[in-house]
Amino acid sequence: MRKIKIYDTTLRDGAQSEGITYSLIDKIRIAEKLDSIGIHYIEGGWPSSTPKDMQFFKRMAKKRLRYAQIVAFGSTRRAGISVSRDRNLQGILKSEVRFATLFGKTWSLHVSSVLRTTLQENLRMISDSVRFLVKRRITVFYDAEHFFDAYQENSRYALKCLQVAQDAGASFLVLCDTNGGALPQEISRIIREIRPNINVGLGIHCHNDTGLGVANSLAAVESGCDMVHGTINGYGERCGNADLIPIIANLKLKMGFDCIPEDKLKSLTELSFFVSEVSNMRHMNNQPYVGHSAFAHKGGVHINAVMKNPRSYEHIEPGLVGNRRRILVSELAGKSGILIRARDLKLDLDRDDLKTKKIYKLLQSLELKGYHFEAAEASFELLLKKALGKVREYFHLEGFRVVVNKEKDKKITSEAIIKLKVKNKLEHTAADGDGPVNALDNALRKALKDFYPALARMHLSDFKVRILDEKAGTAAVTRVIIQSQDERDSWNTIGVSENIIEASWQALSDSIEYKLLKDGTD
């Protein structure tokens, strides 16, 4: 079986994504997680760019990794500067890594317009830089930046850039679709044309500006590349990089290539959620393979078919990647949806049970009021288990008050005061917040933190408000859906009321209860 090397650049390219900033500890945690599932190479950043990146390499050098090699990133020497005086290359040496990726220009447009040097000097920059590191026993991967644009404009020069890197000792030549504008058929054609002229390994590094990052990466593998670059969840500048999650799953399950250990494939969903959590990014429900909705079924026809034979509406068994099938509960699913969800939760219910009829009537009455449980599966699980007496009371609300204060020419402030009974103790506390719901969330957590420390490992990742009857104006019924997230999972809870704070409280308290329930908290 052909072996494909997986090269992760989440800590460098992914960190260039809008809204993402990694601390040193964040980078170390992600690197350790990537190693745990069998990623071959982890690019840690630019040693010469920031003290944080240099500290990362120093810290990782002391850790014993099972699968991965830590890689430093940098550029070829600057025009007119010797390698011994180049700060970037010296930084790679100081990082004490055994592997480095150097990017260089292959597109004549960049050589003349960006570097403002000659084509010959650029070739010397590539050769000198690669040879400088190889002589110091560093394995070098050469990133041919903008390779596909370069090749279509001047194929001879683009190929020459690869060959001088190869002759200088590069172990892999990585073909970069840096602008993300190539199509799969172009990727395949060009790789097949150059492959006979290359004696070392070929890699692929795609961006996602046309939505084809994954497709282009897979086309490259089929055409002869043995290394794939990407980021977890497709994080990266502009539209992001090729997403390693579906790349790995497709390589293993669809194309028959070996890339990570067989027993690690089921960790993909956990890895995806972990990286989104550390990145402080909302996990995308519709993400292929690992999204919350990837194996969700709502329509009655779909549900009926998938329960008879899952292959009818599922392209793989969800557990292969650590995900699970979800049957969405709504009026479209009827009692069948309740029974299937109960079975998934290992709850004893049958169609003619009085409890089933009671739960179905409750579901109908709540949906009539505006509840929407297909979008709030966690709230439905709580409803189901409470109806069957399977949930203990983690806390009891005695009351709360939310104060919003606005004074002339001053910033608006919010404060929540809450009274709870927790394990027969009365907790009375207050907290400020950016708004009334945030203040209420902060006060609730403050009251519960000493009783349930696990709550520190979750946060609210999305807050949605919908007015159900616009004609009623400010007296309209409001639906609030809160998405919460921890390192392993995300879940949605719901509240409905004429009062937005009351609706928010319902969704908020459900979110806290669900976290405690799923963790098996005593």
- CATH number for position 216: 3.20.20.70
Identify whether residues 373 and 260 lie together within a single domain: no
Name the residue among 406, 281, 497 with its Cα closest to residue 508.
497
State the CB neighbour count (10 A cutoff) for residue 445.
18
Identify whether residues 96 and 188 lie together within a single domain: yes
Identify whether residues 32 and 112 lie together within a single domain: yes
For 276-302, the DSSP string reads: HHHTT-PPPTT-TTTSTTTTEE-SHHH
Summarised one tens digit per residue, pLDDT across range 371-403 is 888 778 899 999 989 988 888 899 999 999 999
State the CB neighbour count (10 A cutoff) for residue 76.
27
pLDDT for 306: 83
Identify whether residues 410 and 383 lie together within a single domain: no
Average pLDDT over residues 152-163: 96
Q: Extract long-range pairs of 456-463: CB within 8 Å, 24+ residues apart.
A: 457/486, 457/487, 458/484, 458/485, 458/486, 458/511, 458/515, 459/484, 459/485, 459/486, 460/484, 460/485, 460/508, 460/511, 461/282, 461/283, 461/485, 461/490, 462/282, 463/437, 463/504
Q: Which domain holds residue 311?
A: 296-387
In a 10 Å sphere around its CB, with 0-12 CB exposed, 13-18 middle and 19+ buried, how is residue 519 labelled? Answer: middle
Element (H, E) at 400: strand 396-405
Identify whether residues 369 and 423 lie together within a single domain: no
CA distance 106 to 124: 12
CA distance 96 to 24: 18
In a 10 Å sphere around its CB, with 0-12 CB exposed, 13-18 middle and 19+ buried, how is residue 484 labelled? Answer: buried
| DSSP-assigned letter for residue 76 | P
Establish if 482 belongs to a structural domain.
no
pLDDT band at residue 304 using 50, 70 and 90 as cut-offs? confident
Identify whether residues 116 and 199 lie together within a single domain: yes
Q: Please check whether residue 298 is in contact with residue 332, taking contact to mean a CB–CB distance below 8 angstroms.
A: yes
Establish if 255 belongs to a structural domain.
yes
pLDDT for 199: 96
Q: Is the pLDDT of residue 156 over 70?
A: yes
294: left (phi over 0), alpha (psi -120 to 50) or beta: alpha
CA distance 414 to 403: 6
For 467-512, what is the HEC assignment?
Answer: ECCHHHHHHCCEEEEEEEECCCCEEEEEEEECCHHHHHHHHHHHHH
Name the residue among 75, 142, 83 with its Cα closest to residue 114.
75
Establish if 81 belongs to a structural domain.
yes
In a 10 Å sphere around its CB, with 0-12 CB exposed, 13-18 middle and 19+ buried, how is residue 343 labelled? Answer: middle
Domains in the chain: how many in total? 3
CA distance 420 to 397: 5
Establish if 355 belongs to a structural domain.
yes
Identify whether residues 242 and 161 lie together within a single domain: yes
Establish if 106 belongs to a structural domain.
yes
Identify whether residues 443 and 356 lie together within a single domain: no
Establish if 267 belongs to a structural domain.
yes
CA distance 199 to 191: 13
Domain containing residue 410: CATH number: 3.30.160
Identify whether residues 378 and 399 lie together within a single domain: no
Report the chain's mean pLDDT, rounded to a whole number.
92
Summarised one tens digit per residue, pLDDT across range 398-445 is 999 999 998 888 889 999 999 999 999 999 999 999 899 999 999 999
Identify whether residues 344 and 273 lie together within a single domain: no
Establish if 518 belongs to a structural domain.
no
Domain boundary among 368, 387, 406: 387
Element (H, E) at 70: strand 69-75
Q: Is the pLDDT of residue 257 over 90?
A: yes
Establish if 291 belongs to a structural domain.
no
pLDDT for 441: 93
Summarised one tens digit per residue, pLDDT across range 32-62 is 999 999 999 999 999 988 899 999 999 999 9
Helix runs in 212-329, H state only: 213-223, 244-253, 268-278, 300-308
CA distance 399 to 447: 13
Q: Which two tokens stand for residue 301?
A: 């026809």
Q: Is the pLDDT of residue 333 over 70?
A: no
Average pLDDT over residues 460-489: 79
Element (H, E) at 95: helix 87-95
pLDDT for 429: 95
**Does the pTM exceed 0.85?**
no
Identify whether residues 342 and 408 lie together within a single domain: no
Identify whether residues 412 and 265 lie together within a single domain: no
Q: Is the pLDDT of residue 468 over 80?
A: no
CA distance readout (Å), 177 to 166, 182, 205: 19, 7, 6
